């Protein structure tokens, strides 16, 4: 059976990239498994949770990025959320007492950055509104929970984050008006 070649030759570099992704996947899984096993054998603080989450963060952010909705805003939000979960783990498992102040500050900074990026390039970024709405939602819910649960001096940070998240939502609505409802219909469609 003679085959007449009717397709172009493919560069080997792409083949290498495919192999590398496969090797990295197994390396990450192996590293995570070894850490958990070591931690279980040696006992003590659950440091392997922090290592596993760090590996996950690295995996999802660098090695295996999102296949849909991969833009600067969504990646920044993903990094902030995953990073803050990591900080909470460190606070809970290693050195307690600081995350309650640090995490809201990081979320506030993230809201500020995302807000600037979103409104500075509004026409292009309106298609990427969903991650920002989610961040707003997380911040609002987080600040309400924070205000209810914590009764110490640090309460004000939750109030600031909540108010800022709400004002960003109002800003979106003011800019989009009826289109805001349309965007929400897209984002929350169950069909």
Partner 1 sequence: MKKKKPTEFELYLVGLNDGQAEMIAAFFTEFDRHCALDERSKALMRRDFENALLYYSNEGLPLDTALDRLDISNLGSFYIRPPILWYTLDDAAKIYPLSMKHGRMAVFRLAVNLKEPVIPELLQTALNFTIKRFPSFATTVKKGFFWHYLDTAKRRFEALAETDIPCRPIDISTSASQSFRVLWYNNRISVEFFHILTDGTGGMAFLKALTAEYLRLTGIRSDEEGVLNRNELPSAEETANEFARADSTDQTGGFVDVAATQMSGRLSSAHPCQVLHFRMDAAQLKNAAKERNSTVTVYVLSKMFLAGRYATDEPNGTMNIQVPVNMRKFYPSKTLRNFSLYCGIRRSISEIEDSTAMLEDIAGQLKSKASKEAMSRMMNSTQRLLHALRYVPLALKTPAARVVYGFLGDQIFSNTLSNLGVVDMPSEYAEHIENMDFVLGTAVSNRAACSMVTFLDTATLTIAKQTLDPSFEEALYKSLCNNGINIQVEGSPLYGR
Measured distance CA(45)–CA(40) in Å, rounded: 10
Closest approach of partner 1 to the CB of residue 179, in Å: 9
Nearest CA-CA partner of 49 in 86, 84, 82, 9: 86
Using CA atoms of 111, 115, 118, 120 in order, give the dihedral in degrees to the nearest 10. Answer: -150
Measured from the CB atom, the residue of 175 and 182 that comes closer to partner 1 is 182
38 near 60, Cβ under 8 Å? no
Residue numbers at the binding site for partner 1 (CB under 8 A): 1-11, 14-15, 18-19, 21, 64-71, 124-125, 127-128, 130, 182, 186-191
How much is the CA Rg of the chain, to the nearest whole Å? 22
Closest approach of partner 1 to the CB of residue 60, in Å: 12
Measured from the CB atom, the residue of 15 and 101 that comes closer to partner 1 is 15
Task: Report the half-sphere exposure of 171 (CA within 13 A, side-chain side).
Answer: 20
Measured from the CB atom, the residue of 11 and 151 that comes closer to partner 1 is 11
Measured from the CB atom, the residue of 41 and 67 that comes closer to partner 1 is 67
């Amino acid at each position: 059976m003679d085959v007449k070649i009717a397709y172009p030759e493919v560069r080997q570099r792409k083949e290498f990239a495919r192999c590398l992704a496969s090797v990295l996947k197994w390396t990450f899984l192996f590293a995570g498994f070894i850490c958990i096993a070591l931690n279980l054998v040696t006992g003590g603080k659950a440091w392997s949770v922090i290592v596993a989450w760090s590996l996950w963060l690295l995996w999802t952010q660098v090695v295996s990025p999102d296949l849909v909705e991969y833009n600067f805003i969504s990646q920044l939000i993903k990094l902030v959320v995953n990073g803050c979960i990591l900080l909470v783990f460190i606070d809970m498992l290693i050195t307690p007492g600081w995350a309650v102040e640090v995490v809201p500050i990081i979320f506030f900074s993230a809201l500020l950055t995302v807000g600037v990026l979103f409104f500075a390039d509004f026409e292009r970024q309106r298609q990427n509104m969903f991650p920002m709405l989610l961040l707003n939602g997380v911040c609002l819910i987080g600040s309400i929970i924070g205000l209810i649960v914590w009764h110490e001096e640090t309460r004000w940070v939750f109030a600031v984050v909540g108010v800022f998240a709400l004002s960003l939502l109002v800003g979106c609505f003011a800019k989009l008006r009826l289109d805001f409802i349309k965007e929400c219909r897209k984002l929350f469609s169950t069909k």
